[in-house]
Amino acid sequence: MSRYLSSRFASLEEYVPGEQPQDLHYIKLNTNESPYPPAPGVVKAVTQNEIDRLRLYSDPDCRALREALAAQYGVSSANIICGNGSDEMLSFLFIAFCDAQTGVSYPDISYGFYSVFADINRIAAQEVPLRGDLSICADDYCGLDRTIVIANPNALPGLCLSAADIERIVQSNPNNVVVIDEAYVDFGGESVVPLTKKYDNLLVVQTFSKSRSLAGGRLGYAIGSEGLIADLNKIRNS
């Protein structure tokens, strides 16, 4: 640490990513990378034409990807924002929906970046203990009057909340944003993307890095009401 670093950040505890061996002889379980290549259709799509386009700036609005995702999920492209992995989406939402008046709550055993985002933005964080069996108790998140972030399935325990439990949390916090991080939803649990059509305070974050075998592509996205997506775009474009 240099003497030039702002005192605001002197006490930060950084997120430490998994080790990245350079010889590529390993399947690294600690970063949950897929041992399988992307689907053949993905490989076919990466043509010489696409390589030629690397000299050009990409579309900052990711219109083609948003339209494809919108068709898949049955929502409008205005309900989707894309970014550099789901981590960027999470970073934006901590900035957009938390402040000195609105703190954040998340499980005490979960994705380690949540606490980093809270610390770097100086947000009052409430880490909610898991139950003895390492599951999340939905009742603990009802009526908190805070921004809520829950990984479902939860990392690290891998246990899921039901869609009904998540809906109950959303309903009981009508004045706050509830974020469901579905990085691992394809491995278990039920996506609550359909509930984003019903509740304007629900935001669902997903990634291409896990089940879709595209961790190196750094692609993530969030789905929510047009208002929430507009808020995130304001942060992203500022």
How high is the pLDDT of residue 137? 98
Phi then psi for 99, rounded to 5 degrees?
Answer: -160, -165
Each residue's pLDDT tens digit, 174-212 = 999 999 999 999 998 899 999 999 999 999 999 999 988
CB-facing half-sphere around the CA of 154: CA atoms within 13 A: 25
| Residue 45: per-residue pLDDT | 78
Q: Which residues of 65-76 are buried (b: 16+ CB within 10 A; e: fewer)?
A: bbeebbeebebe
pLDDT tens string for the chain (238 positions)? 777 678 877 777 877 776 777 766 776 667 778 888 888 888 787 776 777 888 889 899 999 999 999 999 999 999 999 999 999 999 999 999 999 899 999 999 999 999 999 999 999 999 999 999 999 999 999 999 999 999 999 988 999 999 999 999 999 999 999 999 999 999 988 999 999 999 999 999 999 999 888 888 889 999 999 999 999 999 999 9
Question: Where do we find the tokens 């894309």?
Answer: 82
Model pLDDT, residue 6: 81
Q: Alpha carbon of 178 to those of 25, 38, 94, 98: distances in Å?
A: 40, 31, 11, 11
**pLDDT at res. 62:** 94
**How would you classify the pairing of strands 147-151 and 202-207?**
unpaired
pTM of the model: 0.90
Q: What is the spatial distance between Cα 217 and Cα 13, in angstroms, rounded to a whole number? A: 27
Q: Residue 63: exposed, middle, or buried by beta-carbon count in 10 A (0-12, 13-18, 19+)?
A: exposed
